[in-house]
Structure 1
Amino acid sequence: MIEWIRIKNLALIEEAEIEFKSGFNVITGETGAGKTILIGAIGMLLGERADKASIRTGCSSCEISMSFALPSSVSKSVSEILDTAGLPPVEDKQVQIRRIITATSSRNFINDSPAALQTLRNLGNILIDTHGPHEHQSLLRQSVQLELLDRYGSLEKLTSEASGIYEELKKSRIEREELEKGIPSSSEAEHFRFIVSDIAKAGVNADEEEELITRHRLASNSHDVLETAKNAAGMLKESEGSLTDRISEIYRVIQGFEGADPEMAAKFLKQCESLTETANELADGIQRYTGNIELDEKEFTELEERLRIIQNLKRRYGPTLADVVNTAENARRRLDEFENFESIRSGFIGKEKSLNDKLLKKCSEISKKRRELSAKFAKKVCGELRKLGFARSDFTVDFKQTEPGPSGFDVVDFIFSPNPGETAKPLREIASSGEISRVMLALKTVLSAADSIPVLVFDEIDVNIGGETAMIVGQELKALGNSHQVLCISHLPQVAACADTHYSVEKSVVKGRTFTAINELKNADRKSEIARMLGGGKAAEKHAEEMLE
């Protein structure tokens, strides 16, 4: 059950904490006071979309939180949800959910651990069943009626299995249709065959280029150094017109004036000899250096050729080598589709036949169970309807069959006759909004006995009813409170008087700002609120007192 809800800066509520009790809790108040804010807060705590417009004017964020005491009937399911989400296990059978909402984001927590919004929704599906005004119309839809029947019979596992088979069948059909539509022409097949051959000849793989570039860079550096050093050594003494050759020429020229000035000539000649010796030593040192450089010319040539091939392939099928490999794989697959079209298509057809047979078998199993439980379901609903003022009404479930789908091949209609002598017709054709409210309450009552959801929330379930019927609805809600915690927003004093715990929502204006407060009513305060709902005055006060006795 919900132990408490805390609200801060949500719409008209600046700050509030409401402690709920077990049994039937009713919430009343003037129209526009903010009763639905509380229901909206519960919805947001269980994963509904949070709108920035819900933040109180002048505030940057709002915060809502709730503490939930887990009954043993849902403890295992809650633990599985938290475990799947990677969240810590439950301690002391208590779950606390908190949301902080800003204009741009929402942060969610379960027992103070950050949680995804989907995890909140998953918890909500097993903790709280909410009925709002919009569900009156949803009850008229055949798909919703089928869901209610399945929920009563606990057929969710079977329908989930049918849905899985259906989705697999649907996927196979789509893949086969795409194959049939996309089968290559003969000319396209030839093109794919060329691509496969062209890339296969190179024998490339997506990961080799990086290693080749690294090896080529190292080899290229060695090659460049070796070539440069060889050129330098040749310029010194080996190539034609080398430095040593030029020094020799200078030596001979100087010898030409040796007779005229032997002293200077001797000096210059000695310097030439020194230069020649230095040039020879430098050339020898460079040659020794180049001798130590390891270079496999064949490997270098092969690396350059391999990179050239890869570059050409990238230019044709790239831009990356991974794209080239993917192009080859896609071309090979498309070529395989062309060459083995009938075989692949036959495989799909065989798979679809097997899945269709499997789906039909599962749908038949589900349909049989639905038909078996529908009579019991209808009998229980009729019993609840009698309690709600339809003393001689009739309620049955009608079945029709359609194409197999994710929930089976049944289409159901809830057939309803509110009064004897009236032709029974589908609910959507005859029910007034007041009748729909009571039918929905009857269904909720029957379902609540069949499932383990511990909390039922009703937002104006009593719309468009009054008088004795309203009193009956209140009594039925109180009876529901014996097995579930019930929260109900109501405008009817007859319903409010039946509640175990009564809360009032009041709106006030202080210094130009609107505030909403939520308070538990007891004794005189409760009598005054019910008197207000009756219209006020002495007579209303007396009537309120009688209703509460």
Structure 2
Amino acid sequence: MLQTLYIENIAVIEKTSIDFNSGLNVLTGETGAGKSIIIDAINAIMGQRTSKDIIRTGEQSAFVSAQFENINNEVINKLEELGFSDDDGVLILQRTLNTSGKSSCKINGRPATVSMLKELSKYLINIHGQHESYELFSPETHIDYIDSYGKSSELLAEYKENYKEYKILKKKLNEANTDESERLKEIDLLSFQIQELNDADVKLGEEETLEAERTSLMSFEKIFSLLNEAKMLLSGNESFDGGVEAVDSACSNIQKAAEYNSEYESLSDTLSDVYYNLKDCAENISDAIDNLESDPQRLEEIEERLDLLNRLSRKYNCPCDDLIPFAENMQSRLDELVNFDKNRDELIGAVEKAENLTMQSAQKLSKHRKKVALDFAKKVKDEMSFLNMPNVELVPQFEITEFNPKGIDKVELLISANPGETPRPVAKIASGGELSRMMLAIKTVLSASDTVDTLIFDEVDTGISGSAAEKVGLKLKQVSENSQVLCVTHQAQIAALADHHYLICKQVDDGRTFTEVSILDHNGRVNELARIIGGVNITEAALTHAESMLNEYNN
């Protein structure tokens, strides 16, 4: 579960550290106090796209850190898959945002990528915000709820594998079925290009070798001058004793000194070795000078060859070393076109086989979905009934479609909120409050099979009040028995049910706005509930009502 969230320089939050607990954690505060910023920070640590505009005004960077404890096996397995390890059940995610737009991430202190955070967060946190309720308007999402409830991942993976192979083969067949004139044109073009590359006879690493040789030939005079000077320094000339002779003289002197004191014998031997090494170097340099040639003709040949390689590289839009595999790929394509009839017949058979396998896996997946969809709809209906929608009807409607990444099913959950009404698409009849309760019902049903330990509900109470809000609170309380729940709310009925209540408040100091988050004790909760109930002017009646709510829900 999420143990600690540390935020620095995110919007109006300068620095704050929040220690969350198991059960139902509720966050409240006045409008604009910064409740949404907490969710923004959590989204950042989950690897979601984050604007640099959330960095606090005047600061160059922002930082978010989340510590999770008692992580489950799903998270541990994903960590290992990404190349990380857990620290005795503890996981720390960190992300730094910069005004340049770049960000840096860490997982348990080791560098990571945003995509890694995003991949890992799927197993850590599930956020339900106001916008997610409106996803119910899109039937495309309904099939995902049913697949999640029905644990269809293995069947879906089997289908996707077959579907991918079918798409590849189908594409090849379509390419093979181009009209005859286009096929002949492509054969002519490929034949010319392959011949051109074969005639060029490009060798791997050739360009680099030629450029090195060209550099040497173009630097003939400089190389000759440097070698000649080195030879002179070692071998000397008419007016100068070189290094070899100087070392030889020094060696003779030390040898004579050794006749008087044997301690110098090792030094004498060393100088003797240096002398012979230097003499060899001088001879090698002399040989190099003798072998050094200025070859304008060879230089011209190299320039012409490099020009050809460059032209081919530009023409085929690939590095010189890639021209060889490029020609091999063109040859494979040419062979396919030349052996058109034989290849097409083989492809037709392969496509038919792949299509049959894809259809079989799609039908197996569809059968499973239809079976679990009815049970899913019934359970969601029961939850919605508890949430003050007793007459709701929920009907999963299936249509068969062409192959697509999700199978052959088009699924839409149709809803009837009142007796006698024909079930219709959610977008046509559901209000904001009904959407929120329907999504909470779906989340409740899915939470039983969800391995994510932390669920976050951001203003799930939108559009509801009174007894419906109380029922939402009770449902959140129920969900929190199996998962850690964080809930941002404006409803006193929900806040009163919290196991842990956090107040988000802002203040202005020296012209700057600061937001703080603190956990409330009993008296603090009474005052906050009274504020939610009665507004700015807290009356004795509001305080009494708040006290009674806390006593009622926590006894």
TM-score, normalized by length of structure 1? 0.77
- Measure how far apart 1:91 and its partner are: 1.8
Equivalence for 1:48 = 48
* 1:495 partner letter: I
Equivalence for 1:128 = 125
- Measure how far apart 1:480 and its partner are: 1.0
* 2:469 partner letter: A
Whole-angstrom CA distance in 2 between matches of 1:542 and 1:125: 43
Tell me, yes or no, if the aligned pair for 1:56 and 1:62 is still in contact at 8 Å: yes
Q: State the SS of the aligned residue for 2:501.
A: strand
Equivalence for 1:92 = 88
Equivalence for 1:7 = 7
Distance verdict in 2 for CA 1:68–1:182, change over 3 Å: farther
Equivalence for 2:432 = 433
Distance verdict in 2 for CA 1:95–1:423, change over 3 Å: same
Q: State the SS of the aligned residue for 2:122.
A: helix
- Measure how far apart 1:429 and its partner are: 2.0
151-160 or 175-184, which deviates more: 175-184
Whole-angstrom CA distance in 2 between matches of 1:397 and 1:34: 39
Uncovered stretches (5+) of structure 1, i.e. residues with no partner: 220-288, 295-299
Whole-angstrom CA distance in 2 between matches of 1:214 and 1:436: 70
Is 2:532 the partner of 1:533? Answer: yes
Deviations 1:93-112 (A, max 9, x none): 11111112111221111111
Alignment of 1:137-286 (within 5 A): 137-181=134-178, 186=184, 189-190=187-188, 192-193=190-191, 196=194, 200=198, 205-207=203-205
* 1:543 partner letter: H
Distance verdict in 2 for CA 1:333–1:464, change over 3 Å: same
* 1:492 partner letter: Q
- Measure how far apart 1:197 and its partner are: 5.4
Whole-angstrom CA distance in 1 between matches of 2:545 and 2:207: 91
* 1:388 partner letter: L
Is 2:36 the partner of 1:36? Answer: yes
170-179 or 25-34, which deviates more: 170-179
- Measure how far apart 1:328 and its partner are: 4.6
Whole-angstrom CA distance in 1 between matches of 2:401 and 2:531: 53
Tell me, yes or no, if the aligned pair for 1:28 and 1:503 is still in contact at 8 Å: yes
Whole-angstrom CA distance in 1 between matches of 2:374 and 2:445: 13
Distance verdict in 2 for CA 1:9–1:206, change over 3 Å: closer
Equivalence for 2:244 = none
- Measure how far apart 1:499 and its partner are: 1.1
Distance verdict in 2 for CA 1:503–1:213, change over 3 Å: closer
Tell me, yes or no, if the aligned pair for 2:18 and 2:517 is still in contact at 8 Å: yes
CA RMSD, 1 decimal: 3.4
Deviations 1:31-58 (A, max 9, x none): 1110011111111111112321111112
Distance verdict in 2 for CA 1:206–1:497, change over 3 Å: same
Alignment of 1:498-517 (within 5 A): 498-517=497-516
- Measure how far apart 1:214 and its partner are: 8.8
- The structure 1 residue matched to 2:108, chosen from 101, 104, 111, is 111
Whole-angstrom CA distance in 2 between matches of 1:480 and 1:540: 29
Distance verdict in 2 for CA 1:27–1:210, change over 3 Å: closer
Alignment of 1:516-527 (within 5 A): 516-527=515-526
* 2:93 partner letter: I
- Measure how far apart 1:118 and its partner are: 1.3
Q: State the SS of the aligned residue for 1:166.
A: helix
Tell me, yes or no, if the aligned pair for 1:127 and 1:454 is still in contact at 8 Å: yes
- Measure how far apart 1:342 and its partner are: 2.3
Whole-angstrom CA distance in 2 between matches of 1:344 and 1:214: 46
Tell me, yes or no, if the aligned pair for 2:127 and 2:455 is still in contact at 8 Å: yes
Tell me, yes or no, if the aligned pair for 2:530 and 2:546 is still in contact at 8 Å: yes
Identity of aligned residues (%): 37
Distance verdict in 2 for CA 1:210–1:531, change over 3 Å: closer
Tell me, yes or no, if the aligned pair for 2:207 and 2:306 is still in contact at 8 Å: no
Equivalence for 2:404 = 405
Whole-angstrom CA distance in 2 between matches of 1:69 and 1:213: 58
Q: State the SS of the aligned residue for 2:47.
A: coil
- Measure how far apart 1:29 and its partner are: 0.7
- Measure how far apart 1:539 and its partner are: 1.7
Q: State the SS of the aligned residue for 1:134.
A: helix
- Measure how far apart 1:171 and its partner are: 2.9
Whole-angstrom CA distance in 2 between matches of 1:117 and 1:42: 13
Deviations 1:227-253 (A, max 9, x none): xxxxxxxxxxxxxxxxxxxxxxxxxxx
Q: State the SS of the aligned residue for 2:97.
A: strand
Whole-angstrom CA distance in 2 between matches of 1:435 and 1:78: 34
- Measure how far apart 1:382 and its partner are: 1.9
Q: State the SS of the aligned residue for 1:139.
A: helix
Alignment of 1:287-326 (within 5 A): 314=309, 317=312, 322=321, 325=324
Whole-angstrom CA distance in 1 between matches of 2:492 and 2:212: 85
Distance verdict in 2 for CA 1:516–1:355, change over 3 Å: same
- Measure how far apart 1:113 and its partner are: 1.0
Equivalence for 1:369 = 368
Equivalence for 2:19 = 19
Whole-angstrom CA distance in 2 between matches of 1:315 and 1:4: 58
146-155 or 62-71, which deviates more: 62-71
* 1:525 partner letter: G
- Measure how far apart 1:216 and its partner are: 11
Equivalence for 1:225 = none
Deviations 1:150-181 (A, max 9, x none): 00011122212322322332233334434544
> Which one has the largest radius of gyration?
1
Whole-angstrom CA distance in 2 between matches of 1:48 and 1:484: 22
